[in-house]
């Protein structure tokens, strides 16, 4: 769970809305530390082969279904999302990536 300014945000909800776009193969929402709100949602996605989609289109789609406080402050499109040994998306690796880049 991501807690932004006292509001609970469930990553699964953001991911489910992102998956409504047929171009998106995988989606993972994680919390990024924020000095004002505690955490802010960030979304990582990968696309199906030979598909194109820009961050603006993803943000617009999410804005149609999610409350403003649930919208990711950053969206990153990767070739593949990192996986753990059993093949699940490795969200700790994505959080580490956020810390390393900010």
Domain that holds residue 32: 2-101
Provide CB contacts within 8 A for 61, sequence distance 6+: 17, 18, 20, 21
> Which pLDDT tens digit goes with each residue over 59-93?
999 999 999 999 999 999 999 999 999 999 999 99
Q: Please give the pLDDT value at position 56.
A: 97
> Which pLDDT tens digit goes with each residue over 23-42?
999 999 999 999 999 999 99
Instruction: Sheet with 38-47: list strands edge to edge.
Output: 24-34, 38-47, 74-78
Q: Please give the pLDDT value at position 102.
A: 64
Domain at 50, CATH number: 3.30.300.30
Q: What is the pTM of this model?
A: 0.94
* pLDDT band at residue 98 using 50, 70 and 90 as cut-offs: confident
Buried-state track 45-62, b at ≥16 Cβ within 10 A, e below 16: bbbeeeeebeeeebeebb
- Count of domains in the chain? 1
């Amino acid at each position: 769970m991501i807690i932004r300014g006292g509001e609970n945000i469930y990553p699964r909800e953001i991911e489910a809305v992102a998956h409504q776009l047929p171009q998106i193969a995988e989606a993972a929402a994680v919390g990024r530390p924020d000095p004002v709100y505690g955490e802010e949602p960030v979304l990582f996605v990968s696309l199906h082969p030979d598909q194109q989609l820009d961050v603006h289109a993803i943000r617009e789609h999410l804005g149609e279904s999610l409350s403003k406080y649930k919208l990711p402050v950053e969206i990153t499109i990767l070739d593949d999302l990192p996986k753990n040994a059993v093949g699940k998306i490795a969200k700790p690796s994505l959080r580490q990536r956020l810390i390393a880049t900010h």
